[in-house]
Amino acid sequence: MTEQQLREALVDLYEEFKEEMGFEEFADRLDFWIDKDDRILIEARGMKPVEGIKEIGHVDNGVIYAY
C-alpha cells in the first residue's frame, strides 16, 4: 500500500465525521490493516484485529506512513 491509497481510504471514512472535526484531527492516531481479501481496515491506535490481519501503516501528527 502507498500513502496515497491509505489517504483515499481515510477520505471516504472522513465523510461521516467532517462536520465534527478537521481531517488531521480525525486521522491522527489511526492504524491501517489489510485483511486476507486485501481490504483496508482502519482502527484506533492500539487496537489489534484478529490473527492473520497485517498492519500496513499509521497516521501520526497528520502524517500518513505506509509500510
Per-residue pLDDT of the chain (67 residues), as tens digits, is 899 999 999 999 999 999 999 999 999 989 999 998 999 999 998 887 778 899 999 999 889 999 9
Cell of 11: 477520505
37 DSSP assignment: T
pTM for the predicted model, two decimal places? 0.82
Per-residue CA distances from 11 to 14, 50, 65 (Å): 5, 25, 15
C-alpha cell read off for 65? 506512513
Rounded CA-CA distance 57/18 in Å is: 22
